[in-house]
Structure 1
Amino acid sequence: DNRHEKTAVRYIVGNWKCHKSLDAGRNWIDAFAKHYQPHADLQVIVAPPMLFLAQLADYAKSLNLSGLSFGAQDVSSFPQGGYTGSVAAGMLKGIATYTIAGHSERRRYFHETSQDVTNKVSEAVDAGIKPIVCVDQPYAMSQLTALNDLDCEELIIAYSPVDAMSYREPQLPEKVAEVATFISQIYPNQPIIYGGAVTQDNAHLYKDITQLSGLFLGAASLDPDEFAAICKMMIS
């Protein structure tokens, strides 16, 4: 059963959303580096605003922080070409290792459909960028079908219920476990992470859910000390 091999690695993903300047981002990396304890079984992924992604990834690289990768918060559903304002997956090569796709805020404010997300994931996989695919409803088959036909072992599924994010109310661990079990029956080989009002105070509640491989943090990733504390808790 290769499920157990895959879940040995823990993932902590920090999505800064539309926050921080370039200087603030560098300060965050400096502060995080002071508290961060790399671990062979921990993969930390930070997704800053696209504008600063390359510079911050370079800056972090100069500090030699092992186990820390960078991701884009979104990617175009189109290839390179006449698509004004888009960032194609191929442009992320060498800058980002991962990209988030289908975040509920993208669905809500930018009217993205499940087909758009499918296209984004497909573009990312073709470019060698690992997708973190968001599912914001417990049994959203239309969202999960974005993953069918994809030959990508590196894909991460982020269960981030829209209510938990909108109302800052974390979903009960029992419910998260139930949904994670459901998803893992369909995609037994993909790591599943949970996001939705996770903080330093409640992160431990999700740590031991069998089918979960990690956490997807929004607000809690903006504070480098809190983020580092959650990373440490995940492997302690």
Structure 2
Amino acid sequence: MSDRKPLISGNWKMHQNHFEAIQLVQKLSYVLTNEDVDAVDVSVHPPFTDIRSVQTVLEADRIPVSLGAQHCHWEEKGAFTGEVSPLMLAKLDVEYVICGHSERRELFGETDDDVNKKVHAILKAGMTPIMCCGETDAEREADQAEEKVSGQVRAGLAKVKPDQVAGMVIAYEPIWAIGTGKTATAEDAQAMCALVRATVSEVAGREAADSIRIQYGGSVKPNNAPELMTQPDIDGALVGGASLDADDFGRIVQYRLVESGS
């Protein structure tokens, strides 16, 4: 294991109204211990309509969980109906913003250039991007996975300063494993996360590559988290469905207890 502190992030996607969001965060606070948050950074990424409610609970109850968002626009303001700017999120004490998630790319047509603009905007607003990359099943079968992922990483990090890259998070998410119940083997996940780190090294230098945290995402569950998290280039997880259950998400955060046999 490296000395990079793991980051476990819960992407709630389009789930939970603000009442349910409050309950989920409160339940999570009962599950997590001081030892958990000392060992692992944790973030939750609610829908936009829940962010203010979750922020209030996290601050009022002093819950040591970081607030995240799932998406933002790259402009600070303007005539962009339905969009949310990074400055709006920063005012709500959002720390992490997911960008380039496969669902945004596949369903809403986001391009590599869009993702790069969002990375710059998120950094400018003082938040940390969780930049996603990953290949489809067809691309993997055609031996194009490495080309696809390294290309997304290069494009997403274009003109980002090495010291900024060092503080970022990249989430490798094989698209064929998101919401399908399929999971890459720990060895496959490690190989692709190592490729991501090698690409970061080529783009921004070895120091940035050694510091950046790389998450694995794609049907992460309590039973497969420990093996995934023992891999040398996996520094956390971007969790989808399992993050909607406080007990399941808590067990993923507590992966080290299974790893150590506790």
Q: Same fold (TM over 0.5)?
A: yes
Report the CA distance between 1:83 and its aligned residue: 1.5
Within 2, Cα distance between the matches of 1:183 and 1:135? 9
**1:13 equivalenced with 2:22 (yes/no):** no
Residue 50 of structure 1 is matched in structure 2 by: 48
Report the CA distance between 1:54 and its aligned residue: 1.6
Residue 168 of structure 2 is matched in structure 1 by: 155
Within 2, Cα distance between the matches of 1:200 and 1:223? 11
Alignment partner for residue 165 of structure 1, among 178, 193, 197? 178
Q: Under a length normalisation based on structure 1, what TM-score does the superposition of the two structures give?
A: 0.93
Residue pairs, 1:211-230, within 5 angstroms = 211-230=233-252
Report the CA distance between 1:167 and its aligned residue: 2.4
Matched residue count:
231
Within 2, Cα distance between the matches of 1:107 and 1:24? 28
Residue pairs, 1:21-60, within 5 angstroms = 21-38=17-34, 39-60=37-58
Consecutive unaligned residues in structure 1, runs of 5 or more: none
Q: Which amino acid aligns with 1:58?
A: T
Within 2, Cα distance between the matches of 1:186 and 1:37? 36
CA RMSD of aligned residues (A): 1.6
Alignment partner for residue 73 of structure 1, among 51, 61, 70? 70
Q: Under a length normalisation based on structure 2, what TM-score does the superposition of the two structures give?
A: 0.84
Residue pairs, 1:185-224, within 5 angstroms = 185-187=198-200, 188=209, 189-224=211-246
**1:141 equivalenced with 2:154 (yes/no):** no
Q: Percentage identity across aligned positions?
A: 28
For each residue in 1:24-49, what CA deviation from the matched residue of structure 2 results, as whole angstroms up to 9, or x when unmatched? Answer: 11111121111111332311010000
Q: 1:37–1:232: 8 Å Cα contact kept in structure 2?
A: no
Instruction: Name the stretch that deviates more: 170-179 or 88-97.
Output: 88-97
Instruction: Name the stretch that deviates more: 125-134 or 30-39.
Output: 30-39
Residue 204 of structure 2 is matched in structure 1 by: none
4+ long deviations beyond 6 Å: none
Consecutive unaligned residues in structure 2, runs of 5 or more: 136-144, 201-208
Q: 1:10–1:234: 8 Å Cα contact kept in structure 2?
A: no
